[in-house]
Amino acid sequence: NCQELAGLSASLTLLKRQEKFASICFWGKIFGTSGDYYVAYALKEPVFEFPAKVFFYAGEDFEFKPLPVLTVENAEKVLALALDKPFTGKPDTVIEPEVEGGEEEPPAEEEGAEPVEKPPKLTEADRLALAIQDIDFDTAVVPKGAYALNEAHVVVPSSDFKGLGATEATGLAKYAHFRPPSSIASLRALARTDAEF
């Protein structure tokens, strides 16, 4: 709808200027029961060969916030919850089940010992981060030839790429995953000095 397009256009332009990104892309929309999430990403300068994606999310107020970066431990906790219910649209909603018997009693503090800080509870924003990470890993594609390795062995937009024609754009063979290599063979190919992308 027009309101959604206008809100997204204005907020993505503002985010691009605030974060000083060369470009920012709308990633998609995730529906919730009481509100929806709008997701965008930008490419950071590569530390290694491949640029890293930085994700942002917004609710229906179109104020984009950085998506939490999950640790392996928290990602495993979210997966262990095996949630199959829809998103609510409220990022602060706690998704961890309540412990039977209410709050656990904190252990008695020894004299001179620092208080043990409990880890923050997992929220829907953490679940959203994992869902986006999984979807993006499996589905992020670009036309073959759109990116190339430069002399510094860094993936950059190809200056030779002029786009795909209408018939070429319909063929799956004309696309490649846009993510760091995940197999040993791909890593070896990327490490070669004459690597083609």
Instruction: With a cut of 70, say whether residue 80 has pLDDT above it.
Output: yes
Across 180-191, average pLDDT: 67
Instruction: With a cut of 90, say whether residue 14 has pLDDT above it.
Output: yes
pTM: predicted TM-score of the whole model, two decimal places: 0.78
H-helix or E-strand spanning residue 26: strand 25-30
Task: Give residue for tokens 């209410």.
Answer: 102
Question: What is the share, in percent, of the chain residues with pLDDT greater than 90?
Answer: 47
Overall residue count recorded for the chain in this entry:
197
Of the ranges 26-30, 74-78, 96-100, 107-111, which one carries the lowest mean pLDDT score? Answer: 107-111
Please tell me the distance from the alpha carbon of residue 21 to that of residue 42, in angstroms, as a whole number.
7
How much is the CA Rg of the chain, to the nearest whole Å? 21
The token pair at 21 is 């990104």
Please tell me the distance from the alpha carbon of residue 28 to that of residue 127, in angstroms, as a whole number.
16
Instruction: With a cut of 80, say whether residue 180 has pLDDT above it.
Output: no
Of the ranges 70-79, 115-124, 166-175, which one carries the lowest mean pLDDT score? Answer: 115-124
pLDDT number for residue 98 = 75
Instruction: With a cut of 90, say whether residue 7 has pLDDT above it.
Output: yes
Residues 53-71 pLDDT 10s = 899 999 999 999 999 998 8
